[in-house]
A and B are shown apart, each in its own frame.
Chain A
Amino acid sequence: MTPPFNTPPAHPHPTTVNIRTLRAVVFTTDHRVIGIQYLVLALISVVIGTLLSLLMRIHLVWPNWPLPLHGPILPEDYLALVTIHGTIMLFFVLTTAPQSGFGNLILPAQIGARTMAFPALNAASFWLTAAALVVLLGSTFVPGGAAISGWTAYPPLSAITSAGPGQALGMDLWLTSIALFAIASTASSINTLTTIIRNRCTGMTWERLPLTVWGWFTAALLSIIAFSVLLAAILLLLCDRHAGTSFFLPNGDLVNGILHKGGNGSPLLWLHLFWFFGHPEVYIAILPGMGLTSMLLANFSHRRVFTYRTMIATTLLIGFLGILLWGHHMFVAGLNPFASSAFSISTMAIALPAAAKVLSWLATTWRSRPSYKTPMLFALGFVSLFITGGLTGPILAQPILDEYLHNTFFVVAHFHLIMAMAGVFGLYAATYYWFPLLTATRNHPGRLLSEPLGHLHFWCTLLGAYAVFLPMHLTGLAGEPRHYAQLTGIPGPGGSLSPAGALLSHTLPLNQFITYAAIFLATAQLVFLFNLTHSLRKGKFASSNPWRATTLEWHPTMNPFTLLTASDTPEMSVHRAPCHYQSNKSEVSFLPQWEPIPLAQDEIEDATDTKPE
């Protein structure tokens, strides 16, 4: 009934002609090639971002170490490192890879669609994103240096070109880069939403959508809302910088001896607009990973997802609450204290859908004897990091505690665990899981990443992640602020070692440990890079459904990487929600979404919300 794996196409393209291949790859509108392009862009970005973070860590504990070809790291260099690291990781890795990379590669197949809704727009989005990355990296080489205002770019620092290093051309390029990214991301999200709404195959009802698709759907909704506000804010800031307006500048602002006379703006307006984008942004980064984790836990535990419908509802609820709580970044920013109370309550509220998700994950794996393949390990790691990072969220949501913890390393630890580390674990799970779909070509089936190397990579990364970020809670509690280029020997007003110098330098031993751990964590990623490059050419060939998955991207005709002509792909239809597994004592059987034969068990399909399997 289904054609054998990788039926060669009837009319193979003429080979050779490098230029044509090149053009085909560069200007392709094939969503799968675009997905790969996004992933390559994210991989380049994550390597750069990681190296920058290592430089920061090294500078913090060995401040006199001269950077090769550069010399000592000056305070403005350190702040440029912070800014570029944050920007590149958040935008070009954590937003790009799950949402645009795997979204393009997997999403259409998962809903039984042939293509994305707008292929040309899709290609344009990618090239805008690539241009944004080039502009961002280019900003580090301009006179005056890269932007040093952190990824939040608070004015007036970012609004006045004479406010210090990095605020002139470097800041203009930074803003341009983010504006380009915002446009690309909005376009890409419109594409995603339209594809999900319009291109689902027969039988793919909303309740049968895999939870990954719900993750992509909610993240795309948030992207459209959040990035358009960010784009508006950036345009206003550019007007303040070059057109003499003062949206964000108060009258009589005196920066570096230059008096700004003008309208009556407020920096707080930027904070509102920026965080209205900035907080949803972290959910954009994590929601696809949450969806994938749900699916992987069910797949490798051979169980249904516990409370499938509730999981859909909590995904949407997290998205909805996610746009109502930006003010928790502003408890000590000059906001009315009553407003802080309101934002505190909306932030606490989001802990409940998040907790419901954790409960579902725990219930899905509870006494399931899962098979510990590498994607499953990374999904379990995601759960662990999500819990650990998530539990400090309610602490920071309380204004009275934020009064002490705000802008300390406690916050850095919190968001790195939940957004960066859990986010990256989601990406690793996706890479190990979907590698056969990434590597299948016309001529051979997909390959698998090496399992032993995958296990080694997982354990080193988990250990490294905790070793780096758990101690940061302690340096934060000890009072160490973020964005400090130096911790030791900070001169006081009189020149002698000040109380500030004493307060900061006593976290040094712990910071040295964190730096060693960070070097270990980064080194462990070489195992992954080796596995990736090695398995790309020499990895084991995968069968057409190596994980016994139930979702449509593993349908035999969806497997080949290169685009099939319409005649090669029979119309697909879906008969049930994903993750239908059945087990008796010895045997586990599974029922893919596309398989029409119902098992006896299948009659009670959606009534199973009441039990874990």
Chain B
Amino acid sequence: MICSRLTSACLPSLWIDRAAIHSPWLLPADASAHGPALDHHLLLNLWVALALLTLAHLILLIGLFARRHSEPTRLWRIEYLPLTVLALLFASLTLKAERLWAASRYTGASPTALQVEVTGVQFAWYFRYPGPDATFGITRPSLVAPGEGNPLGLDPSDPHSADDQVTSQLVLPANREVDLRLRAQDVIHGFSIPEMRLKQNAVPGQTIHLHFTPTTPGTYAILCTQLCGLGHYRMNATLLILPPNQFATWLAAKQKAAP
């Protein structure tokens, strides 16, 4: 937490300004715990690319406009030295990227994380909360019946399924880690929340875990980013981040409304 505050403090303020969402020029606002470090690394990479781009073009242009010159040049100075510098530069960027990647993906969520299941279906996202028993009921593809209010095919004979809550909006508490179980019912979908700096394909036949901690209450876009058919562009949902007490109220109301 301290680490991410530090990195966000040293960024240009424009970069993380929420007003940036209205500008086509920059990243959308960042509302997740791991996001600032990612943004910082991305910005660093963009600056490095821009610097190398400028440098290479300058060398090209100066070389083209300068007087002809045929003195022998030492190979190490224009071949091995630049290559070594580039190798070190790219190695250090890789190393930093790997550390960030490992932090978010090498291990799973903590056991106390909030469990939510995400299912992608042509062309909608469904979210399932396990209910007070903290266990997801069994789903069967043969029982899927969106018209009868059972889009995920929950098996009524499984005692765990009775208290499961299925929603079309993802509601999460701020500042608590979430453990998402990502599934797809039909084809591959891309689960993406740009403002949470989160993207992971949902693959039929696989359950993929993804964990993150939202920080800033608000509403955010959930997109599908893997071409999944003609409705791909309108396969979106809304993420609502609530302060923890409001989330508890929402969850209780949801459970009371359940039959």
Contact = CB atoms under 8 A, between A and B. Distances in A.
A163 B98 contact: no
Contact of B75 (A165, A307, A407, A492): A307
B227 A154 contact: yes
Interface in A218-272: 249-256, 259, 264-268
Contacts of A398: 41, 45, 93-94, 97-98, 101
Nearest to B50: A391
B185 to A, nearest CB: 5
A111 interface: no
Contact of B204 (A148, A267, A492, A498): A267
A392 B45 CA distance: 9
A577 B237 CA distance: 62
B46 A395 contact: yes
Interface string A340-352: 1100110010011
A401 B97 contact: yes
Contact of A252 (B66, B141, B190): B141
B221 interface: yes
A474 B27 CA distance: 8
A475 interface: yes
A400 B233 contact: no
A16 B20 CA distance: 71
B156 interface: no
Contacts of B21: 502-503, 506
A479 interface: yes
Contact of B141 (A154, A259, A583): A259
A165 B169 CA distance: 28
B231 interface: yes
B226 A154 contact: yes
A359 interface: yes
B43 to A, nearest CB: 10
A484 interface: yes
Interface string A505-522: 011111000000000000
B24 A474 contact: yes
Contact of A157 (B45, B68, B75, B188): B188
B220 A391 contact: no
Interface residues on A, range: 35 or more
Contacts, number: 308
Contact of A403 (B82, B140, B197, B239): B197
B53 A337 contact: no
A367 interface: yes
A610 B76 CA distance: 9
A157 B227 contact: yes
B27 A363 contact: no
A500 interface: yes
A345 B101 CA distance: 13
A508 B67 CA distance: 46
A340 B45 CA distance: 19
Contacts of B246: none
A539 interface: no
B24 A507 contact: yes
Interface in A265-313: 265-268, 307, 310
B57 A387 contact: yes
Given A400-B100, A404-B42, A502-B221, A356 B79 contact: yes
Interface in B230-253: 230-234, 236-239
A344 B93 CA distance: 11
Given A394-B45, A493-B124, A500-B221, A156 B186 contact: yes
Contacts of A383: 60
B144 A254 contact: yes
Question: What is the interface of chain B mostly: helix, strand, loop, or mixed?
Answer: mixed
Given A334-B206, A394-B93, A486-B234, A510 B24 contact: yes
Nearest to A159: B187
A572 interface: no
Contacts of B231: 75
A355 interface: yes
Given A359-B82, A478-B26, A500-B222, A388 B53 contact: yes
A129 interface: no
A492 B238 contact: yes
A555 interface: no
A79 interface: yes
Interface in B53-107: 53, 56-57, 59-60, 63-64, 66-75, 78-79, 82-83, 86-87, 90-91, 93-94, 97-98, 100-102, 104-106
Contact of B234 (A388, A401, A490): A490
Interface string B140-166: 111010000000010000000000000
A265 B204 CA distance: 10
B27 A267 contact: no
A387 B50 CA distance: 11
Nearest to A303: B70
A149 interface: yes
Given A253-B186, A387-B57, A502-B221, A610 B199 contact: no
Interface in A465-499: 474-475, 477-479, 481-486, 490-493, 498-499
A490 B53 contact: no
Contact of B49 (A74, A395, A499): A395
Given A268-B203, A387-B56, A398-B45, A150 B227 contact: yes
Interface string A374-412: 000000100110011001101101111101111110000
A338 B64 contact: no
A124 to B, nearest CB: 35
Contacts of A391: 49, 52-53
A537 interface: no
B194 A506 contact: no
A332 interface: yes
B229 A499 contact: no
A405 B205 CA distance: 25
A169 B179 CA distance: 41
A280 to B, nearest CB: 21
A150 B59 CA distance: 39
B122 A362 contact: no
A368 B223 contact: no
Contacts of B206: 250, 266, 268, 334
B137 interface: no
A484 to B, nearest CB: 4
B229 A163 contact: yes
Contacts of B74: 610
A266 B205 CA distance: 7
B83 to A, nearest CB: 6
B64 A365 contact: yes
A75 B233 contact: yes
B142 A367 contact: no
16 contacts: A75-B233, A164-B122, A165-B230, A252-B140, A254-B141, A267-B188, A359-B78, A369-B68, A407-B190, A481-B190, A484-B232, A485-B233, A498-B236, A507-B24, A510-B24, A611-B71
Given A253-B186, A492-B236, 9 more contacts: A254-B186, A255-B122, A266-B206, A334-B208, A368-B64, A395-B46, A474-B24, A498-B238, A503-B223
A-B pairs, top 8 by smallest CB distance, nearest first, are A250-B205, A500-B236, A398-B97, A611-B72, A479-B194, A500-B221, A366-B63, A367-B69
